[in-house]
């Protein structure tokens, strides 16, 4: 059943579940502006479908088999959008989940393509996200896992034991975002110098730099450029 064919009350309930923030116009507040922009309200909602069945053969096959071999999988939050399935996995379950996804003969996600970090300062208690992109060569399927941790407890289990190729990706995510991957064999910086302070891709990292000379011109560092605000 498509979303358009769902009863109106079910569509409203599904939408309410996916809405994660509400924004309203800002710049006209207290300015005397009469354009009406201040009255605009916009709901920010997760796209796609948040529960099985997903009406996609590959996504449904992954979900159904994963639930069979790992029943707790059924309770995880999921999102299916643009032909891609994302599963939000509690960090304490991550190692068990990736081993199951790799070793089960009907899942066989043999490869982890990448791990990336994301920083959402507004998500109190889940400010840091690690995103895992898995690939099954056997079945030509892809799956995304997402794991969160709070900024004051930046620990997520390492998956290097299951996917050795995750080594460099976990180091880069630590380097850029400060997520500590417990159990990693050598969690050291990979892009920045060893003595670098901070994690440059976090949203709260100060915008700074050094002046750059290019073909006779000097380009000022971002933190010294003229401000127009």
How far apart are alpha carbons 171 and 185 in whole angstroms?
A: 10
Q: Quick check: 145 and 166 in contact, CB under 8 A?
A: no
Tokens standing for 77?
Answer: 């939050």
- Total tally of structural domains belonging to the chain: 1
Q: Are strands 84-88 and 141-149 parallel, antiparallel or unpaired?
A: parallel
What is the pLDDT, as a whole number, of residue 11? 52
For tokens 């417990």, the residue is 182
Q: Is residue 149 part of a domain?
A: yes
Q: Is residue 123 part of a domain?
A: yes
89 exposed, middle or buried (CB, 10 Å; 0-12, 13-18, 19+)? buried
Range of the domain at 109: 48-198
How far apart are alpha carbons 168 and 157 in whole angstroms?
A: 15
Alpha-carbon 192 to chain mean position: 22
For tokens 């990292």, the residue is 205
What is the pLDDT, as a whole number, of residue 156? 98
How far apart are alpha carbons 95 and 93 in whole angstroms?
A: 6
| Mean pLDDT, each 10-residue run in order, the chain (229 residues) | 48 59 64 62 78 91 96 93 94 98 97 96 93 97 97 97 97 98 96 90 82 78 67
Q: Is residue 29 part of a domain?
A: no
Q: Is residue 212 part of a domain?
A: no
Q: Is residue 63 part of a domain?
A: yes
Q: Is residue 34 part of a domain?
A: no
CATH number for 147: 3.30.460.80
pLDDT tens per residue, range 176-216: 999 999 999 999 999 998 998 899 999 998 777 667 777 77
How far apart are alpha carbons 189 and 157 in whole angstroms?
A: 18
Give the other-Cβ count within 10 Å of 31's Cβ: 11
What is the pLDDT, as a whole number, of residue 219? 79
Q: Is residue 10 part of a domain?
A: no
What is the pLDDT, as a whole number, of residue 38? 63
Beta bridge partners of 68: none
Eight-class DSSP state of 176? H
What is the pLDDT, as a whole number, of residue 4? 46
Give the other-Cβ count within 10 Å of 7's Cβ: 9
Q: Is residue 228 part of a domain?
A: no
Q: Which residues contact 170 (CB under 8 A, 6 or more apart)?
A: 115, 158, 159, 160, 181, 184, 187
Strands (E) located in 138-189? 141-149, 155-157, 180-182
How far apart are alpha carbons 87 and 214 in whole angstroms?
A: 46
């Amino acid at each position: 059943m498509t979303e358009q064919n769902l009863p109106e009350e079910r569509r409203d309930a599904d939408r309410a579940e996916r809405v994660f923030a509400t924004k309203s116009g800002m710049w006209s507040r207290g300015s005397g502006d009469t354009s009406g922009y201040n009255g605009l309200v916009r709901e920010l909602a997760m796209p796609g479908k948040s529960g099985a069945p997903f009406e996609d053969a590959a996504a449904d096959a992954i979900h159904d088999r994963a639930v069979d071999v790992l029943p707790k999988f059924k309770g995880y939050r999921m999102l299916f959008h643009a032909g891609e399935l994302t599963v939000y996995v509690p960090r304490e379950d991550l190692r068990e989940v990736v081993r199951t996804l790799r070793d089960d003969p009907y899942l066989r996600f043999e490869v982890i393509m990448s791990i990336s970090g994301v920083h959402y300062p507004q998500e109190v208690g889940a400010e840091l996200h690690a995103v895992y992109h898995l690939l099954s060569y056997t079945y030509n399927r892809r799956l995304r896992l997402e794991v969160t941790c709070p900024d004051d407890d930046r620990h997520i289990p390492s998956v290097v034991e299951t996917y050795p190729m995750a080594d460099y990706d976990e180091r880069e995510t630590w380097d850029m975002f400060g997520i500590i991957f417990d159990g990693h064999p050598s969690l050291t910086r990979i892009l920045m110098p060893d003595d670098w302070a901070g994690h440059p891709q976090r949203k709260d990292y100060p915008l700074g730099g050094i002046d750059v000379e290019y073909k006779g011109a000097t380009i000022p560092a971002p933190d010294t450029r003229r401000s127009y605000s």
